[in-house]
């Protein structure tokens, strides 16, 4: 069997499951290296960028070539395959249409004293988007990170992606241009995150950084958080599939492989109440892996971090899912609407046999930037809200302060904040 197997009905199951889930939290902190890189960029700006890009990416750039020129962008854009261009257009429209439904309307509450209490929203001014350019070079990353910002009303989006000279995935350039990205930079790694966070002569300083990356990029985002906002601390991608005896083993195997080919540290988990299905899926995995171009990556992922879990009762299966809190969850069972009620922790949930996770990755509509490594227990995927700031508006009337002021004074005095109390008292004194 390719997948490790656990019996969810055994007494020590929970302990064994946690040991497997924790294996991927191995990623050693790169903080000590990243801190040095960030300091270098803060001190030396473009000069440090050029040095680090040469050191880490073997990319020879100079002060005039850190950024793509309009001429370069137009030339690269023209090289894109028309079929691919059309697919990006379709994805853009679908993602944008879905995210437009997320817009939050301001509201106002007027209480019995005629006090006006409200929320208003304003977009972040400048957003930086990091797009990987190594083994993972995805135009879908551009769309999923830029579109919610666009819908939120962000006017200034800047993008950085590793590029050797002008050699870059043309689909990334096309997607960026379609999203109205202001500038596209040619660098990657932790130094690019630092440049976005603190600015250089070439890089614009942004207010928030979004987008996935390797361990160094992730560590850099964590390090600059507080000086700028970030989307999330994301780990390797993952999928859990709940399937019953009616499921197609070949389809399940294909979905597990689709996740595994992302990265050697990706995690693909099958949870079922049918042992025969689990056996069939393992057989199908072997057959399909042999035909996969990224067979080494996918095989390594499945053998090291892949898992099949048997549990005879659906309540048990739901408890397992909620404990895993997967980034992606496929409910490949006949009664998926019924068991959906029991799902509390998951990023995106895919319902039924015709809803593979791949559809969500590209153009279903909802965002594919999702919480990983169990963080779906307390967080959600990227949305329009992540690019909006909420402001409270408070207008107290004369009647309001007269009726409520004494309570404020009592609370302030209890907390030994006499100045707070006095700021209300002084307004209650008769002129």
Task: Answer yes or no: is pLDDT of 402 > 60.
Answer: yes
How far apart CA 247 and CA 308 sit, in angstroms, is 15
Are domains 4-19+236-378 and 45-230 of this chain identical in fold? yes
Q: What is the pLDDT of residue 197?
A: 98
pLDDT digits (tens, 9 = 90+) for 170-219: 999 999 999 999 999 999 999 999 999 999 999 999 999 999 998 899 99
The CATH number assigned to the domain with range 45-230 reads 3.40.50.1980
Domain borders along the chain are 4-19+236-378, 45-230, 397-428
Task: Answer yes or no: is pLDDT of 32 > 90.
Answer: no
Task: Answer yes or no: is pLDDT of 94 > 60.
Answer: yes
pLDDT digits (tens, 9 = 90+) for 42-76: 999 999 999 999 999 888 899 999 999 999 999 99
The CATH number assigned to the domain with range 4-19+236-378 reads 3.40.50.1980
Q: What is the pLDDT of residue 167?
A: 84
Q: What is the pLDDT of residue 187?
A: 95
Q: Which residues are marked as active site?
A: 327-328
Q: 117: pLDDT confidence band, cut at 50, 70 and 90?
A: very high
pLDDT digits (tens, 9 = 90+) for 329-373: 999 999 999 999 999 999 999 999 999 999 999 999 999 999 999
Task: State what percent of residues in the chain have pLDDT above 90.
Answer: 89
The pTM assigned to this predicted structure is 0.94
């Amino acid at each position: 069997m390719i997948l490790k197997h656990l019996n969810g009905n055994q007494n020590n199951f929970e302990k064994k499951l946690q040991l497997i889930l924790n294996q991927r939290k191995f990623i050693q902190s790169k903080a000590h290296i990243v801190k040095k890189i960030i300091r270098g960029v803060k001190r030396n700006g473009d000069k440090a960028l050029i040095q680090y890009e040469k050191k880490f990416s073997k990319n020879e750039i100079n002060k005039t070539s850190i950024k793509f020129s309009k001429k370069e962008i137009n030339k690269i854009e023209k090289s894109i395959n028309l079929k691919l261009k059309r697919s990006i257009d379709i994805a853009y429209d679908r993602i944008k249409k879905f995210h437009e439904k997320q817009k939050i309307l301001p509201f106002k509450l007027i209480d019995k004293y005629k006090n006006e209490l409200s929320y208003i929203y304003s977009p972040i001014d400048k957003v930086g988007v990091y797009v990987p350019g190594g083994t993972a070079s995805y135009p879908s990353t551009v769309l999923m990170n830029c579109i919610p910002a666009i819908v939120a009303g962000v006017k200034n989006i800047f993008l950085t992606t590793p590029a050797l000279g002008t050699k870059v995935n043309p689909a990334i350039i096309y997607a960026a241009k379609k999203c109205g990205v202001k500038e596209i930079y040619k660098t990657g790694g932790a130094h690019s995150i630092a440049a976005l966070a603190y600015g250089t002569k070439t890089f614009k300083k942004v207010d928030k950084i979004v987008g996935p990356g390797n361990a160094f990029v992730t560590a850099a985002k964590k390090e600059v958080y507080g000086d700028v906002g970030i989307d999330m601390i994301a780990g390797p991608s993952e999928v859990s599939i709940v399937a019953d005896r009616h499921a197609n083993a070949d389809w399940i195997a294909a979905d597990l492989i689709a996740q595994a080919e992302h990265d050697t540290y990706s995690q693909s988990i099958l949870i079922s109440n049918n042992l025969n299905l689990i056996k069939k899926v393992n057989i199908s995995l072997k057959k399909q892996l042999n035909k996969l171009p990224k067979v080494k990556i996918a095989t390594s992922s499945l053998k090291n971090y892949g898992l099949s879990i048997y549990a005879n009762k659906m309540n048990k299966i739901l408890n397992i899912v909620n404990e895993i809190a997967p980034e992606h969850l496929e409910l490949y069972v006949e009664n998926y609407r019924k068991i959906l009620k029991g799902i509390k922790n998951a990023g995106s949930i895919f319902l039924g046999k015709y809803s593979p996770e791949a559809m969500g990755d590209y153009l279903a509509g909802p965002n594919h930037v999702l919480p990983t490594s169990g963080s779906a227990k307390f967080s959600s995927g990227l949305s329009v809200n992540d690019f909006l700031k909420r402001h409270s508006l408070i207008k107290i009337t004369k009647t309001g302060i007269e009726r409520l002021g004494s309570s404020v004074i009592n609370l302030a005095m209890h907390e030994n904040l006499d100045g707070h109390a006095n700021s209300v008292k002084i307004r209650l004194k008769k002129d």
